[in-house]
Structure 1
Amino acid sequence: MPQFRPPTHRQWRPRSRLASLTRGKHVLVAIALCLTIFYLVSRSGGTSESTLLERHMNSGPPRYPIKVVKSSVDWGNIEYRHPPPTNLAQLPKPPRKGKGNLPRVQHKFKKESAAARATREARRDAVLRLTKKCWDSYRRYAWMQDALLPLSKGGTQQFSGWAATLVDSLDTLWIMGLRDEFDEAVAAVAEIDFGSSTSPLVNIFETNIRYLGGLMAAYDLSGRGVLLQKAVELGDLIYGGFNTMDRMPVDNINFEAAKEGTGLLMEPHVVSASPGTLTLELTRLSQMTGDPKYYDAITGIVDLFYRGQNQTAVPGLFPMFVSMAHLDVTAGNTFTLGGCADSLYEYFPKMHALLLGGHAQIATLTRGFLDAAKRNLFFRPMVPDSTSPEADILISGNLNFDPDGNSRLDPETEHLTCFIGGTFALAGRLFQNEQDVAVGARLARGCVYAYRAFPTGMMPERLNMYRPHLPKGFTTAKDPRYILRPEAIESVFYLWRITGDMEWQEAAWDMFQAVARGTATETGSAAVLDVTEDKPNLPLDDYMESFWIAETLKYFYLVFSSPDLISLDKYVLNTEAHPFLLPQT
């Protein structure tokens, strides 16, 4: 696979316009112009991040030459054993024309004081510095590999060898104004060969959320045509994952079988999040390209979950494992919003937003899961300071059924489950139910509480808490790691943008200081093996997941940026925090 190699130094890059003004009078003119601009900006209170974003989108050609290498397999021209239907489902139309298809989601923020702005921007810049450090280390030690090994200063392949961290980080670089780094990364993306894989099996879920989501979001932000071109190449590969008898997706695409179009082997059972988390990206790809085939592919998934929603042991919710091979999303005894199921539910309200409220089944799925989760999964744990406002929290547990059909709530939760606060708040606004916004706040506050409760200021990967009928406190930290996960700050971001309450910015700053300190290495950040003991040097794992830059640091940055940057009324973010533009009506 041809690979773009970064330069060892930066002197060769085109010189700036100001640097080319070598004559004295031109320098004076340029200085005067800069002083004038500085004066005007300072008088106007500064330039918002949204204005900077617009300037980036119209700031001229990329600084790096683009050499597009078409993938060695033309996934769009594979002859399938199980071809798609001739009459493809079309994207639904919004329920009414013009503006107002969706209610306002984001809080109407008032102008902040100079002191508040200075504090916010200082915090934002701290996030930027850490992101830059991590990206520079990836660029130096793991370029074009999937992930950085921050302790051994190397790289590793994890997801087919298509530079997962690079693709996953594209929109973060753009949002943070790292234009030079973005341009260099785009030039490298242009040479990725999606016809060659380091693994014989391509995981459809991870490929979809990290790679396809990353490419499309970066295209939505920058308008760079090469990103859409590569997104279509990859989208056609994912589309090939539906080459099965019932046109349902496999969990892992056999790369060689997919090339031949001979049909794929369906797994007997898969986690429910795997098929359920293909909907947003493939819908957006149809919106971008005008080709309905991608959206058509996911309509079967939506219809299957819709028909089964009230046939499960917990009507409204789906079991952790489902069977695409047997078209069964109802049989199962474990129900959770955590790992294996999380983004299935996350995508219900986000699909509602992306389709501008134009899909009745999606609306029903969303409302059904919200009501069922409130009735069956959420509990208020016993905590020592139960009378304080900060302790007005909810935790999402797991519901298990025994062979006799008796249910038991397991008060175990995961960091992965922390997304649910933001999802409830978002759905509450989309469906104009402020009670659900309040429930989302209590859920997000529960994860913030877990961060603050441990001596390192970081929440463990998995823990248990007492329900009210037992003594106060935590019972276990079954998995004491912090692996750079974003879900807690994700919910804090949504609650900040939706409510405007300052408690969320303060919580975000506490969390950022803790994770930045606890994960710090010479080359960036590494996962922590045990957050339950406060030691001078925490034990670290030699790994930096691509979602650290793509999600965690991006959410921290957005909390401390102008609310106009990636507004929740203009974008919907996928489960990897990649922002997709809402279509214009």
Structure 2
Amino acid sequence: MLLMGLTEQFERAMAFVSQSDFTIQRAQSAKLHMNREVSFFETAIRYLGGLLSAYALSNEAVFLQKADELASILAPAFDTGSGFPRFGFDILTGLPVDRGISGSLAEVASCQLEYAYLARLTGKKEHYDRSAKIFDNLRQVNLSETGMLPKSYGLMNGEPLDRSISVGGGSDSGHEYLLKYYLLTGQKDDWSLDMYMRTINHVMTKMLYVTPRRGLLYITDIYGFRDTPAYRMEHLSCFFPGLLALGVHTLPPDVFSNAHKGFTPSQAEKLSGHDVRDLHMWAAIGLGETCWRMYADEASGLSPELIAMRFPTAPVPSGLWVDAFTDWKVNGTGSLPPGTEDKPLMDNVRDYEVSNRNYYLRPETVESMYLLWKATGDELWRDRGWVIFEALEKEARTEVAYAPLKNVAVTDGGQHDDMPSFFLAETLKYLYLLFLDEDPVPLDKWVYNTEAHPFPIFEWSSLEKSNFNISES
């Protein structure tokens, strides 16, 4: 509301927030609730993040007060052997609940921005300690086998439970917060930057593939001890081109020129000789192209939730994009790098099958379009965003709200009876920002959390470093 200049609506919302009680109610009516369990992860990124961002944009004390109250209520979630947060709370008993003895990377490592910024605003060490403990656990992970942070962790000991890796659902924001924590805290936390670059090195050499006929660039999961590619792509993974673009747009040049110092021998074999910054940008563009095609290929103009890709064949038997990119660099004749060209649907050759035809009003693709436009200045991304907005208006709008689609393959394919809050917080917000000529929250001064709530960039003061026991990176 503040970003859009909706002052009257914002003041009404602020009055509502001032009367809100986040204390978990143990009322009898809670028994009638469809879902007794409240997710810590979703509460932290949506409610806590939203309150902190509202305070940052308005300087209205009520939002900080409520954020601090909410963080205190959520504190028992961290009472595990590792310090990783539990799944959430039971709204009938008020007690923390687990879904087993493990948590996904996204669930346990996507609140560091919120708690660090809250510590900055309140001066309370307990908030900082909760953020720092998560990073302490991640520092202990042995990456010699997985190359990047794996998907699942034990809540008691903080150790990884398998070797599977992903940037999709269950992992996405855990990787996202490596770069964003570095940016939020004034580009001073060297470990988070190093982990981000190590992650991207591994993605570049192991997880990016091109389809054999259409040449679609995509990012896939790697399963277990056999390191088996899943050869599929989720809509959730479409945040990743935006993350790459954000890194290129905000990180200093020496980060990329010195990237070779972090290569493993196998990475050096594939990445040496390439301009790493250019490689990141081309990968972002190519992945963004595929995410756009997931929309443009469908009759509704909106994307399926999941697609399964055609297995690799010649001319790049490995299917790895880095191998195709190297071949292009050696033999290319002025054409664009593989996977980055416009890929219209011809002769019905998709190079993939749709595994889930639902569209859940997700924001990841338009988020990446916004960041790609900021990083490249190419109006193409705005044009494509407008086409998606028009499809939303046509297919998802109802008399009272917007609804997810049941089948994107056809027009008027049916709607679900709900509207997730992230549609307002993220999807429509990124579309709005995409069409502004002047950005109210420039990326050199603000960092968006994973729910698109902007926090201002800051540096820890000497007093804060002393009070919070923050070591120099």
Same fold (TM over 0.5): yes
Aligned to 2:402: 525
The alignment of Structure 1 onto Structure 2 pairs a total of residues equal to 395
Aligned to 1:503: 380
After superposition, where does 1:316-331 map in structure 2 within 5 Å? Answer: 317-329=148-160, 331=161
After TM superposition, give the deviation of residue 457 of structure 1 in Å: 1.2
Aligned to 2:41: 205
Q: Does 1:214 align with 2:50?
A: yes
Aligned partner of 2:201 among 331, 347, 371: 371
Q: Which runs of 4+ in 1 moved over 6 A?
A: 256-259, 263-266
Aligned to 2:297: 453
**Residue identity opposite 2:171 in structure 1:** A
After TM superposition, give the deviation of residue 200 of structure 1 in Å: 5.0
Partner Cα separation in structure 2 for residue 249 and residue 496 of structure 1? 35
Residues 140-179 of structure 1 show CA distances to partners (whole Å, capped at 9, x for unaligned) of xxxxxxxxxxxxxxxxxxxxxxxxxxxxxxxxx1111111
Partner Cα separation in structure 1 for residue 177 and residue 36 of structure 2? 29
Could you tell me the percent identity over the aligned residues? Answer: 30
Q: Does 1:273 align with 2:106?
A: yes
Q: Does 1:400 align with 2:239?
A: no
2:37–2:91 CA contact under 8 A, matched in 1: yes
Aligned to 1:463: 307
Partner Cα separation in structure 2 for residue 501 and residue 394 of structure 1? 19
**Residue identity opposite 1:324 in structure 2:** L
Partner Cα separation in structure 2 for residue 215 and residue 582 of structure 1? 16
After superposition, where does 1:81-96 map in structure 2 within 5 Å? Answer: none
Change (3 A) 1:520 1:269: same
Change (3 A) 1:491 1:521: same
TM-score computed with the length of structure 2 as normaliser: 0.79
After superposition, where does 1:95-494 map in structure 2 within 5 Å? Answer: 173-197=1-25, 198=30, 201-254=37-90, 267-311=100-144, 313-315=145-147, 317-329=148-160, 331-384=161-214, 393-401=216-224, 405-429=225-249, 430-432=251-253, 433=256, 434-435=277-278, 436-469=280-313, 473-494=350-371
1:240–1:258 CA contact under 8 A, matched in 2: no
1:266–1:325 CA contact under 8 A, matched in 2: no
Equivalent residue of 1:528, what SS?
A: coil
Partner Cα separation in structure 2 for residue 293 and residue 278 of structure 1? 14
Q: Does 1:572 align with 2:422?
A: no
Partner Cα separation in structure 1 for residue 82 and residue 305 of structure 2? 37
After TM superposition, give the deviation of residue 289 of structure 1 in Å: 1.5
1:268–1:326 CA contact under 8 A, matched in 2: no
Partner Cα separation in structure 1 for residue 150 and residue 81 of structure 2? 23
**Residue identity opposite 2:150 in structure 1:** P
After TM superposition, give the deviation of residue 494 of structure 1 in Å: 0.6
Aligned to 1:552: 427
**Residue identity opposite 1:242 in structure 2:** F
**Residue identity opposite 1:460 in structure 2:** P
Equivalent residue of 1:247, what SS?
A: coil
**Residue identity opposite 1:369 in structure 2:** T
Equivalent residue of 1:438, what SS?
A: helix
Q: Which runs of 5+ in 2 are unaligned?
A: 257-276, 316-348, 462-473
After TM superposition, give the deviation of residue 375 of structure 1 in Å: 1.2
After TM superposition, give the deviation of residue 538 of structure 1 in Å: 2.6
Partner Cα separation in structure 2 for residue 458 and residue 203 of structure 1? 28
After TM superposition, give the deviation of residue 383 of structure 1 in Å: 5.0
Change (3 A) 1:527 1:238: same
Partner Cα separation in structure 1 for residue 423 and residue 311 of structure 2? 32
Partner Cα separation in structure 1 for residue 362 and residue 300 of structure 2? 15
Change (3 A) 1:470 1:322: farther
Residues 502-555 of structure 1 show CA distances to partners (whole Å, capped at 9, x for unaligned) of 11111111111112211021112111000012x3x2311111110111100000
| RMSD between superposed Cα atoms in Å | 2.2
Q: Which runs of 5+ in 1 are unaligned?
A: 1-172, 387-392
Task: Name whichever of 291-300 and 176-185 sits farther off.
Answer: 291-300
1:379–1:467 CA contact under 8 A, matched in 2: no
Partner Cα separation in structure 2 for residue 365 and residue 421 of structure 1? 18
Equivalent residue of 2:140, what SS?
A: helix
Aligned partner of 1:516 among 393, 401, 410: 393
1:572–1:580 CA contact under 8 A, matched in 2: yes
Partner Cα separation in structure 2 for residue 265 and residue 453 of structure 1? 40
Residues 365-387 of structure 1 show CA distances to partners (whole Å, capped at 9, x for unaligned) of 11111111111111122454x5x
**Residue identity opposite 2:2 in structure 1:** W
Partner Cα separation in structure 2 for residue 506 and residue 482 of structure 1? 21
Partner Cα separation in structure 1 for residue 9 and residue 142 of structure 2? 45
Change (3 A) 1:306 1:246: closer
2:207–2:219 CA contact under 8 A, matched in 1: yes
Q: Does 1:581 align with 2:456?
A: yes
**Residue identity opposite 2:217 in structure 1:** L
**Structure with the greater relative contact order (CA < 8 A, sep ≥ 6): 1 or 2?**
1
Equivalent residue of 1:368, what SS?
A: helix
Partner Cα separation in structure 2 for residue 474 and residue 265 of structure 1? 40
Change (3 A) 1:540 1:258: closer
Partner Cα separation in structure 2 for residue 190 and residue 532 of structure 1? 44
1:266–1:324 CA contact under 8 A, matched in 2: no
Equivalent residue of 1:525, what SS?
A: coil
Partner Cα separation in structure 2 for residue 395 and residue 247 of structure 1? 34
Residues 343-397 of structure 1 show CA distances to partners (whole Å, capped at 9, x for unaligned) of 101111000001112212212211111111111111122454x5xxxxxx52111
Residues 216-257 of structure 1 show CA distances to partners (whole Å, capped at 9, x for unaligned) of 111111111111110110111223321234433212235677
Residues 459-487 of structure 1 show CA distances to partners (whole Å, capped at 9, x for unaligned) of 10111122441895243211101110000
Partner Cα separation in structure 2 for residue 309 and residue 457 of structure 1? 43
TM-score computed with the length of structure 1 as normaliser: 0.64
Change (3 A) 1:568 1:524: same
Equivalent residue of 1:512, what SS?
A: helix
2:181–2:192 CA contact under 8 A, matched in 1: yes
Partner Cα separation in structure 1 for residue 78 and residue 403 of structure 2? 36
1:239–1:294 CA contact under 8 A, matched in 2: no
**Residue identity opposite 2:369 in structure 1:** V
Partner Cα separation in structure 1 for residue 448 and residue 7 of structure 2? 21
**Residue identity opposite 1:304 in structure 2:** N
**Residue identity opposite 1:523 in structure 2:** V
